[in-house]
Structure 1
Amino acid sequence: MSIQEKSRALMVRQHQQVKNRQQSMLMRAAQELGLPEEVSHYWNPIQGKVDPTTQTLYSRSNAAMS
């Protein structure tokens, strides 16, 4: 696997993880508020790009467990 393929796979995986985290948090919030489950399926990237704010909120942090 070339460097380009590895970097693309990493980018795609991180994008999917951000999407999954956002939808999980939306589902939990919807359940707490009694909203329909469809609210958690919200995903609105612009041209496939994750909004920088969303990326910051839902991406992995640099903190580590000791």
Structure 2
Amino acid sequence: MATQDQARALMMRHHHTIKNRQQSLLNRVADEVGVEPGDGSTIQGKPSAHSASNYDRSNATMS
């Protein structure tokens, strides 16, 4: 696999991971509020730069 293809795959996987984290949080909040998850509560489009940094990997580790 070429370097560009590897970089693209890494960025796509990273974007997908951030989107999954956002969706998971949205579903948890919907559950707490009492709304059925999935009632129009899907993440669409690219996350903003601010939210991407919030849902990105952290430097914290679990021990």
3-state DSSP class of the match of 1:22? helix
Query: Given residue 9 of structure 1, which amino acid in structure 2 is its aligned partner?
Result: A
Instruction: Give the structure-2-normalised TM-score.
Output: 0.83
CA distance in 1, matches of 2:47, 2:33: 26
TM-score using structure 1 length: 0.80
Structure number with the higher helix fraction is 1
Q: Which residue of 1 aligns with 2:5?
A: 5
Question: Identity of counterpart residues, as a percentage?
Answer: 43
- Give the structure 2 partner of residue 57 of structure 1: 54
**Number of aligned positions between the proteins:** 63
Instruction: Could you tell me which runs of 5 or more consecutive residues in structure 2 were left unpaired when the two chains were aligned.
Output: none
CA distance in 1, matches of 2:15, 2:47: 7
Structure 1 runs of 4+ off > 6 angstroms? none
Root mean square deviation of aligned Cα: 1.7
